[in-house]
Structure 1
Amino acid sequence: MIRTSIAGLLALTLAACAMVPLTSAHPEARLYAPEANAMADVDAAFARAAASGKRVLLVMGGNWCHDSRALAGWLETPRFAALTAQAYEVVYVDVGVPQTGKGRNLDIARRFGLDDMPGTPALLVLTAEGTLLNRDTATSWRNAASRSEDAIYADLAALAETPVP
């Protein structure tokens, strides 16, 4: 009797779970390429930025990280693509899992004055000359999946207009 009741309760629980949609509140993209020559990609973004008068948006993350995938997903939407096409040269850099000591391409972060990457993703906004404009917020994007579309957009739009020190 008890086993039958438990089995029935379990069946109801599983049925209820099956009815809950498994969609996330944000788009996701897997744009971090571990096999890429990240330093060459970054240098190419700076060359494009110098020629176009834009800033470099350096997105450092990993495909294993839901926050990194969420940020990359937002950047791929038409709304964000319009903003980045106007203001930024975007480059994605796979950084492995720096929180566990298994990071890669961390020399790129150090190149721009970030000695520590406590989590992923990190988002660096740089001038075409390599000046980091958001040192205070570059590593604060570890919660990108829980940020709203409008909040992320507002931050990127403001960073596009940040005066050069």
Structure 2
Amino acid sequence: MLAYVGLGSNLGDRAGYLLQALSLLSRLPETRLLRLSPVYETDPVGPPQPPYLNLVAEVDTGLPPQRLLEALLEIERALGRERKERWGPRTIDLDLLLYGDWVLEEEGLEVPHPRLHQRAFVLVPLADLIPERRHPVLGHTFAELLALLDRKGVRPFVL
């Protein structure tokens, strides 16, 4: 199954955390890392904090969505993620954005990610990878959804 994972970091060695997370993601069972979006530096959402580095990874996985989410949370813990405040700073953040065209709403898991179409820091890199793919719920392509958003605060970044 093709899945899309959003990655972000705004504490410490941001690029280093992204690279470590990608390395761990590529080693998950039944999972292959296929493509990466460009990296963007983005203004934070929430309380005052440093800017983020964000990208989206396309993976082919045999893991069911709940197990993939659990693996993403394990990667976050391995890289020192502490969940202290909502939308607070973090060493690494991994979000399951899409899992095929599935629509799921379970305890602790909602796919597609409920706010992905509202956040330029997710939608810009996702549209880089799959501009013509349609959002499973909204029906618009990701390029169309991106055209509705303000890209202010999203800048290309070279690792």
TM, length-normalised to structure 1? 0.27
For the pair shown, the structure with the greater C-alpha radius of gyration is 1
* Relative contact order higher in (CA < 8 Å, ≥ 6 apart): 2
Instruction: Compare the two structures and name the one with the higher strand fraction.
Output: 2
Q: By percentage of residues, which structure has more helix?
A: 1
- TM-score, structure 2 as length reference: 0.28
